[in-house]
Amino acid sequence: MIDCDVHNDWASAEVLLPYIDPNFRDYLVRGELPGPRGAFPHAHRPWLHPEGFRRHDIKPATQEEHYTLMKEHLLDRYGHDVAILTGEEALEVSTLANPFYATALARAYNDWLIDYWLPKDQRFKGSLIVAPQDPKGAAAEIRRLGHHPDIVQVLMSSGSYRPYGDTFYHPIWEAAAEVGLPVAVHLGGQGGVNYNPIGCGPTTFFWETHAMLCQTGMSHVASVIAHGIFEKWPDLYFIVIECGVAWLPAILWRLDADYKALRKETPWLKRLPSEYAQDHIRLSTQPLESPENRQHLWAVLEAMDGKNMLLFASDYPHWDFDNPHQIPIPAGWRENVLDLNARRVYKRLPQSVNSGQSAVGS
Amino acid sequence: MIDCDVHNDWASAEVLLPYIDPNFRDYLVRGELPGPRGAFPHAHRPWLHPEGFRRHDIKPATQEEHYTLMKEHLLDRYGHDVAILTGEEALEVSTLANPFYATALARAYNDWLIDYWLPKDQRFKGSLIVAPQDPKGAAAEIRRLGHHPDIVQVLMSSGSYRPYGDTFYHPIWEAAAEVGLPVAVHLGGQGGVNYNPIGCGPTTFFWETHAMLCQTGMSHVASVIAHGIFEKWPDLYFIVIECGVAWLPAILWRLDADYKALRKETPWLKRLPSEYAQDHIRLSTQPLESPENRQHLWAVLEAMDGKNMLLFASDYPHWDFDNPHQIPIPAGWRENVLDLNARRVYKRLPQSVNSGQSAVGS
Encode pLDDT of B145-173 as tens digits: 999 999 999 999 999 999 999 999 999 99
Percent of chain B beyond pLDDT 70? 97
Q: Which residues pair with A283 in a beta bridge?
A: A240, A310
- The answer, yes or no, to whether ipTM is higher than 0.90 is yes
User: Across the interface, do B212 and A195 touch by the CB < 8 Å criterion?
Assistant: no
- Percent with pLDDT over 90 in chain A: 96
Task: Answer yes or no: do A204 and B210 touch at CB < 8 A.
Answer: no
Which residue, among A184, A146, A190, A156, has the nearest Cα to A284 in the 3D structure?
A184
Contacts of B309 (CB under 8 A, 6+ apart): B245, B248, B277, B278, B281, B282, B283, B341
What pLDDT was estimated at residue A351? 82
In tens, the pLDDT along B311-334 reads: 999 999 999 999 999 999 999 999
Which residue of chain A comes nearest to B226, CA vs CA?
A208
First to last CA, chain B: 12
Query: CB of A130 within 8 A of CB of A138?
Result: yes
Residue type at position B80 = H
Would you tell me which residues 294-323 of chain A have a C-beta closer than 8 angstroms to some C-beta of chain B?
A: 296-297, 299-300, 302-303, 319-320
Say what the pLDDT of residue B351 is.
81
Q: Tell me whether B158 touches chain A (CB under 8 Å).
A: yes
pLDDT in tens, B228-286: 999 999 999 999 999 999 999 999 999 999 999 999 999 999 999 999 999 999 999 99
Nearest by CB: B200 against A50, A197, A226:
A197
CB contact under 8 A, A299 and B302: yes
Residue A163, judged by CB atoms within 10 A of its CB (0-12, 13-18, 19+), counts as: buried
Render pLDDT for B195-226 as a digit per residue (tens, 0 to 9): 999 999 999 999 999 999 999 999 999 999 99
Q: What mean pLDDT do residues A142-157 have? A: 98
Q: Which residues of B touch A212 (CB under 8 A)?
A: 199, 218-219, 222, 251, 254
**Residue-wise pLDDT tens digits, A158-214:** 999 999 999 999 999 999 999 999 999 999 999 999 999 999 999 999 999 999 999
Q: What does the CA dihedral B154, B158, B162, B166 come to, rounded to 10 degrees?
A: 40
Q: Please, what is the average pLDDT of chain B?
A: 95
Measured distance CA(B57)–CA(A89) in Å, rounded: 55
Q: Which of A301, A282, A289 has the alpha carbon at shortest distance from A152? A: A282
Closest chain B C-alpha to A259 CA, distance in angstroms: 6
Give yes or no for residue B360 having a pLDDT over 60. Answer: no
CB atoms within 10 A of CB A354: 11
Q: How many CB atoms sit inside 10 A of residue B6's CB?
A: 24
Asked if B222 is an interface residue toward chain A (Cβ–Cβ < 8 A), one would say yes
- If contacts are CB pairs under 8 Å, which of residues 190-219 in chain A contact chain B? 194-208, 210-216, 218-219
Residue A357 has pLDDT above 90, yes or no: no
On chain B, the residues whose CB falls within 8 A of the CB of A214 are 250-251, 254
A30: confidence class by pLDDT, cuts 50, 70, 90: very high
Is there a contact between A156 and A183 (Cβ–Cβ < 8 Å)? yes
Angle at A90 between CA A18 and CA A69, to 5 degrees: 85
pLDDT computed for residue A148 by the predictor = 98
The answer to whether B220 contacts chain A (CB < 8 Å) is yes
% of chain B exceeding 90 in pLDDT? 96
Q: What is the mean pLDDT of residues A347-360?
A: 65
Quick one: average pLDDT of A251-268?
98
Which of the residues B157, B162, B200, B304 would you substitute to probe the A interface, choosing the one with the greatest number of A C-beta atoms within 10 Å? B200
Give the mean pLDDT of B68-91.
Answer: 98
